[in-house]
């Protein structure tokens, strides 16, 4: 096969300061890079139809079918890295610099690419700031009319070993222009809440459980160590005498070389639990240590070497020892979570852990995979309530996202299965949460709130339940009460998911606080610029504020992201108790002349 000359969109990415990071802890940085590639980078490349030409140590050369795809892929990766680096000290962060060029390349018989197209993209990467993207003029010309970008024109730049100067444009992630016009000032990026470090320590003992290290020698076993860590968080979250940080925030530090005091400061806690899990055959070893961030001292440490079938007893014992080490005086209602749990077949438990991991990805395929794994767990243990709850939740997600052939039937199925899960184990918060969410979308708003309150009585630190309650309160017409639940959620989950900002915007919109809602939407779009729901609400806000041009730009962006976006379907699906609460959203679009 002969070499082929062609024009291609080339993206070159590299880790900034890799040698310094490797010098701090090479094994950990390599493990973190592998995780980033498998969880974030490679899937994102696939979504945008990229082809990995080759890895260059800590970097990559990737070919795309268009510059638009290359830039969208780069923005998504850089935005996700900003979120993952939140709370990580600057000298420990993994940051990428990216260069993109459209130019002439030679494709060799083995698929490798050579030529000026690759060389220029590589030089652009070399001048890009950490977390930023540099585009050549040829590349920028392809996207400037098709993507809303806030760029800095660096002018004609002499790149190393490139004969002629190249005009370069720099895109700083976090400054992508929203569809309402100019880039917002950086100070408006996250108006609510204050940065995590601004929180004072709670009056009650406060703890963050980091993702336990997988010491099994097999990266495929990471789901097991993550699952153990998550279950410990769940157990501790049931104690009202503790303040427990959510998994979403504490797992940000997975495979990161960070100090315990830095983590504690970022998350607003005094104590940090870290540990490791080694699973080999039918044996498991769990080590854990509880550290006081005030002085770095070890409050408690232990190692558990048991048969794999004893893993639940290990979790119960570990939780009790942490409570004892913190000298917590439990009330009568807090004694029950420490009384042990129903025995579960270990194979079923492992299937559930894998199912939870898949379902948390929130894509159509991953949702179906999570359901299949949970169904396999039930085939082994028919009375496994947590697996029934997970299956119920996946059916509700099918309804919310229109992922099934019959979404309404998916919702009914989810509602029925969640009810069955609660009957099986009415003392399990995840069962109550699944039923609360299913009832909300079934327009059973009073039942949804009741189930959320019952769940919170079992697990006062559950962010999932606080957010479920907030969502139900918004649809019930009680946005002020919803804001209170969201405040609690953000304190328990300082690095909260971007969807929380949508709830925040929805609540403020319902109160008529359109400017505040816009700030929350802009903060969400800085983290996820691909949410048509956010752009649609943004369009309505600007319509109410008499800004038709900005409203039209936001609405066009929503339709670009989802050409099938339907007001009629959202009117039918969104479970507002008072129809006027939804019609207020339509009225904003009507004021801007976007709908009849």
pLDDT in tens, 365-395: 889 999 999 999 999 999 999 999 999 999 9
Tell whether 271 and 127 lie within a shared domain.
Answer: no
Using 50, 70 and 90 to split pLDDT, how confident is the model at 447?
Answer: very high
CA-nearest of 443, 471, 442, 467 to 456 is: 467
User: Average pLDDT, whole number, for the chain?
Assistant: 85
Question: Is 272's pLDDT higher than 70?
Answer: yes
Kind and range of the H or E run holding 378:
helix 364-380
Tell whether 112 and 205 lie within a shared domain.
Answer: no
Question: Is 159's pLDDT higher than 90?
Answer: no
β pairing state of 271-280 and 297-307: unpaired
Residue 68 inside a domain? The answer is: yes
CB 269 within 8 A of CB 293: yes
Please indicate, yes or no, whether the overall pTM of this predicted structure exceeds 0.75: no
Tell whether 130 and 251 lie within a shared domain.
Answer: no
**Owner of token pair 């041009």:** 549
CA-nearest of 41, 39, 64 to 51 is: 64
Question: What is the per-residue pLDDT for 329?
Answer: 67
Give 280's strand partners.
Answer: 283
Taking the C-alpha atoms of residue 442 and residue 436, their distance in angstroms, rounded to an integer, is 10
> What percent of the chain lies above the pLDDT cut of 90?
41
Taking the C-alpha atoms of residue 304 and residue 286, their distance in angstroms, rounded to an integer, is 5
Quickly count: other Cβ atoms within 10 Å of residue 262's Cβ: 18
Quick one: tokens of 248?
């979403």
Tell whether 56 and 205 lie within a shared domain.
Answer: no
Residue 436 inside a domain? The answer is: no
Tell whether 113 and 207 lie within a shared domain.
Answer: no
Residue 445 inside a domain? The answer is: no
CB 236 within 8 A of CB 461: yes
CB 488 within 8 A of CB 455: no
Tell whether 146 and 228 lie within a shared domain.
Answer: no
Taking the C-alpha atoms of residue 30 and residue 212, their distance in angstroms, rounded to an integer, is 17
β pairing state of 206-209 and 271-280: parallel
Range of the domain at 119: 4-176
Taking only the tens place, the pLDDT of each residue in 522-578 is: 888 887 888 899 999 999 999 999 999 999 999 999 999 888 889 998 999 999 999
Taking only the tens place, the pLDDT of each residue in 67-126 is: 888 998 999 898 888 878 877 777 778 899 999 998 888 888 778 888 888 899 999 998
Domain end, chosen from 284, 307, 338, is at 338
Whole-number Cα distances in Å, 351 to 378, 387, 396, 433: 9, 9, 20, 21
Q: CB-based contacts of 518: which residues, under 8 Å, 6+ apart? A: 180, 505, 538, 541, 542
Domain end, chosen from 338, 372, 403, is at 338
Q: Of 200-204, 403-407, 441-445, where does mean pLDDT reach its minimum?
A: 200-204
**Owner of token pair 């993109």:** 100
Taking only the tens place, the pLDDT of each residue in 497-524 is: 889 999 999 999 999 999 999 999 988 8
> What percent of the chain lies above the pLDDT cut of 70?
90
Q: For the chain, what is the domain count?
A: 2
Using 50, 70 and 90 to split pLDDT, how confident is the model at 170?
Answer: confident
Tell whether 161 and 201 lie within a shared domain.
Answer: no
Question: Is 188's pLDDT higher than 50?
Answer: no
Q: Which residue has the higher pLDDT, 4 or 241?
A: 241
């Amino acid at each position: 096969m002969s070499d082929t000359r062609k024009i291609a969109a080339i993206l070159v990415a590299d880790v900034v300061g890799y040698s310094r990071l490797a010098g701090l802890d090479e094994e950990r940085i390599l493990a973190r890079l592998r995780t980033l590639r498998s969880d974030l980078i490679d899937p994102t490349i696939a979504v945008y139809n990229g082809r990995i030409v080759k890895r260059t140590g800590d970097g990559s050369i990737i070919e795309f079918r268009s510059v638009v795809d290359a830039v969208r892929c780069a923005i998504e990766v850089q935005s996700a890295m900003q979120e993952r680096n939140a709370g990580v000290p600057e000298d420990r962060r993994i940051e990428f610099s990216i260069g993109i060029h459209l130019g002439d390349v030679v494709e060799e018989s083995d698929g490798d690419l050579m030529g000026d197209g690759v060389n220029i993209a590589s030089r652009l990467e070399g001048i890009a700031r950490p977390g930023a993207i540099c585009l050549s003029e040829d590349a920028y010309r392809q996207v400037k009319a098709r993507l809303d970008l806030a760029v800095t024109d660096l002018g004609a730049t002499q790149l190393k070993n490139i004969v002629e100067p190249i005009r370069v444009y720099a895109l700083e992630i976090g400054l992508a222009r929203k569809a309402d016009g100019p880039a917002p000032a950086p100070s408006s990026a996250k108006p609510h809440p204050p940065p995590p470090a601004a929180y004072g320590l709670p009056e009650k003992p406060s703890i963050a459980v980091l993702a336990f290290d997988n010491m099994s020698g097999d990266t495929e076993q990471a789901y097991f160590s993550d699952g153990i860590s998550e279950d410990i968080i769940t157990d501790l979250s049931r104690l009202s005498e503790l303040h427990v940080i959510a998994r979403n925030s504490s797992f940000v530090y997975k495979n990161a070389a960070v100090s315990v005091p830095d983590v504690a400061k970022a998350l607003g806690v005094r104590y940090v639990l870290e540990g490791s899990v080694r699973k080999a055959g039918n044996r498991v070893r769990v080590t854990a240590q509880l550290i006081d961030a005030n002085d770095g001292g070890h409050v408690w440490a232990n190692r558990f070497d048991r048969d794999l079938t004893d893993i639940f007893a290990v979790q119960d014992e570990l939780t009790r020892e942490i409570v004892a080490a913190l000298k917590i005086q439990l009330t009568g209602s807090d004694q029950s979570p420490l009384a042990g749990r129903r025995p579960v077949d270990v194979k079923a438990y492992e299937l559930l852990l894998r199912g939870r991991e898949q379902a948390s990805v929130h894509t159509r395929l991953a949702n179906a995979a999570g359901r299949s794994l949970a169904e396999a767990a039930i085939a082994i243990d028919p009375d496994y309530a947590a697996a029934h709850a997970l299956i119920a939740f996946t059916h509700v997600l099918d309804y919310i996202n229109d992922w099934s052939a019959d979404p309404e039937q998916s919702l009914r199925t989810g509602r029925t299965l969640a009810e069955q899960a609660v009957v099986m184990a009415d003392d399990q918060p995840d069962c109550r949460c699944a039923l609360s969410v299913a009832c909300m979308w079934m327009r059973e708003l009073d039942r949804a709130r009741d189930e959320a309150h019952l769940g919170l009585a079992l697990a006062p630190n559950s962010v999932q339940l606080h957010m479920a309650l907030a969502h139900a309160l918004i649809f019930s017409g009680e946005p002020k009460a919803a804001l209170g639940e969201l405040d609690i959620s953000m304190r328990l989950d300082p690095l909260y998911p971007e969807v929380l900002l949508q709830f925040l915007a929805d609540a403020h919109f319902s109160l008529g606080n359109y400017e505040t809602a816009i700030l929350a939407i802009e903060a969400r779009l800085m983290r996820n610029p691909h949410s048509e729901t956010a752009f649609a609400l943004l369009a309505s806000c600007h319509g109410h504020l008499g800004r038709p041009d900005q409203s039209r730009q936001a609405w066009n962006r929503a339709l670009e992201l989802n050409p099938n976006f339907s007001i009629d379907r959202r009117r039918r699906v969104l479970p507002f108790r008072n129809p006027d609460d939804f019609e207020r959203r339509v009225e904003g679009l009507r004021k801007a002349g976007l709908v009849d």
